[in-house]
Amino acid sequence: MAIVSQMPDILGDRQSGQDVRTQNVMACQAVANIVKSSLGPVGLDKMLVDDIGDVTITNDGATILKMLEVEHPAAKVLVELAELQDREVGDGTTSVVIVAAEFLKRANDLVRNKIHPTSIISGYRLAMREACKYVDEKLAIKVEKLGKDSLVNCAKTSMSSKLIGNDSDFFANLAVDAVQAVKTTNARGEVKYPIKGINILKAHGKSARDSYLLNGYALNTGRAAQGMPSRVAPAKIACLDFNLQKTKMQMGIQVLVSDPRELEKIRQRESDITKERIDKILKAGANVVLTSKGIDDMSLKYFVEAGAIAVRRVRKEDLRHIAKATGATVVTTFADMEGEETYDSSFLGHADEVLEERISDDDVILVKGTKNTSAVSLILRGANDYMLDEMERSLHDALSIVKRTLESNTVVAGGGAVEAALSVYLENLATTLGSREQLAIAEFAESLLIIPKVLAVNAAKDATDLVAKLRAYHHAAQTKADKQHLSSMGLDLSKGAIRNNLEAGVIEPAMSKVKIIQFATEAAITILRIDDMIKLIKDEQDNEG
């Protein structure tokens, strides 16, 4: 009797075991190699051209990976990893990808040497916990000890690899001032710095050093009509999310007209409905009306007569921020519970003044002296679009870093200092363990050295020599009681030497480093667990059917 296999034929390729692992690691290495050369103060930029010919020139890891269309499923994990780091911390996107790829490469070597992936995973997890604990307990330094300069230095470190690195003194101060301007305290008494309240406007012309900080939230649009006043103070702001155009009947509503003379009345009523709505807003006391939709020219005259500023086509995001800053409510419909249309004055937001200014060739509306949270705008100037876009990305990273430093209050030395210290510490830890995780932890420790190595290589310095010296310093710092101050030793990439980066002002928030280690380990473990890949082929007959 023949036994018929119950397993249906898989329409697709199936690869399992070592082949898949090697393939995944190769794909991740390829992704990491793309961003590798952009790490560090002398990192190079990438030029990305998309399918319609738009050019992006950037140094930001998350942006580079977002623009690449990555096909390989394992490599996609790294792209998501960079996005996660960007969301959680805002900077360190390049580092996290490089570290994760190195973890994978080392783990793959161990698997080849007949060590089970489960042992490697538990070793990596243990190493990650120990590393994060060591950063918090031994390497992190409270910001109070370093003073205000530490914020500027954090911003400068974040910008060092970017396009605006040469003017980092100027931009770091801008970033710190901007973040401190939006300080708020929430209901629980925690101090928060919502950097979304910092609006970045890009204007052509002049040089990068002519960028400045404006007190007030700037909108990249002008007044809807020239007859409106260019300044209103004090301002009562209505934020709307619907059209102020001639009202049209909804789809599916039929109006049957028996008498053609009535047609004109219907038209008249349509424009009257809008007029009534505008009257309701103005009666509530509004003298500034912002809407995310359109206002037609018929309706503009009512605002001009009332001496109010109306702005149309405001970005939804800007509308939300202004509503939050001024205490306004974004209204999406006038209908109330009774089915009538009303607009209550409690929906209005308050600001000291709203005015229109001209920046380069564009008119912008400024909302100043907002009631709840203070809002500020960074006006960036620069030669061309590519430069302005890259300046915006660099400033976003710097603002995020300053925010993290202020909220977590702890910093660590940069320039490979943390990675070298952790590498030495974990190697010593591995030798004390008698379990099979020992090898995985040793490889984890080795992998962390990829950061100082890449930093040195990108700076055209001798990586082998510098990393060896760096490790010697950190070994001394951890074994000799009188040498503990050496734990901040990192690379000086302009001179190609080792220096105390804490004194040199190359510092980063401790949170950034901890998250890099956590996220990179998690991503590496996710990919390491895979030992079977089944790719399904689309069934042609189904499609025809």
Q: CA quadruple 250, 256, 260, 262: dihedral positive or negative?
A: negative
Contact (Cβ atoms closer than 8 angstroms) between residue 151 and residue 176? yes
- Is residue 94 part of the annotated active site? The answer reads yes
How many C-beta neighbours within 10 Å does residue 393 have?
19
Structure tokens given for 101 = 């790829």
481-484: list long-range contacts, CB under 8 Å, 24+ apart: none
Rounded Cα gap, residues 275 and 336, in angstroms: 18
If we measure between CA atoms, which residue out of 239, 241, 231, 240 comes closest to residue 369? 231
- Is residue 542 part of the annotated active site? The answer reads no
Location of structure tokens 């992998």: 447
If we measure between CA atoms, which residue out of 504, 494, 528 comes closest to residue 414? 504
For the chain, what percentages of helix, strand and coil (3-state, to nearest 5) are there? Answer: 50, 20, 30
The counts of H helices and E strands in the chain are 18, 22
If we measure between CA atoms, which residue out of 30, 16, 15 comes closest to residue 79? 30
Of 60, 86, 389, 492, which residue is the catalytic one?
60
If we measure between CA atoms, which residue out of 52, 113, 61, 50 comes closest to residue 86? 61
Q: What is the 3-state secondary structure (H, E, C) of 31-43?
A: HHHHHHCCCCCCC
If we measure between CA atoms, which residue out of 469, 436, 406, 505 comes closest to residue 159? 505
- Is residue 397 part of the annotated active site? The answer reads yes
Structure tokens given for 477 = 């710092």
Amino acid at 105: K
Of 94, 221, 274, 405, which residue is the catalytic one?
94
- Is residue 60 part of the annotated active site? The answer reads yes
Of 45, 91, 389, 397, which residue is the catalytic one?
397
Of 56, 58, 63, 93, which residue is the catalytic one?
93
Who's near 153: CB < 8 A, 6+ residues apart? 146, 172, 505, 506, 507
How many C-beta neighbours within 10 Å does residue 500 have?
17
Find the helix packing angle between 437-448 and 117-134, rounded to 10°: 50
Contact (Cβ atoms closer than 8 angstroms) between residue 473 and residue 491? no
CB crowding 71-99: b at 16 or more within 10 Å, else e: ebebbebbbebbebbbebbbbbbbbbbbb
Contact (Cβ atoms closer than 8 angstroms) between residue 209 and residue 172? no
- The residues assigned a catalytic role are 60, 93-94, 397
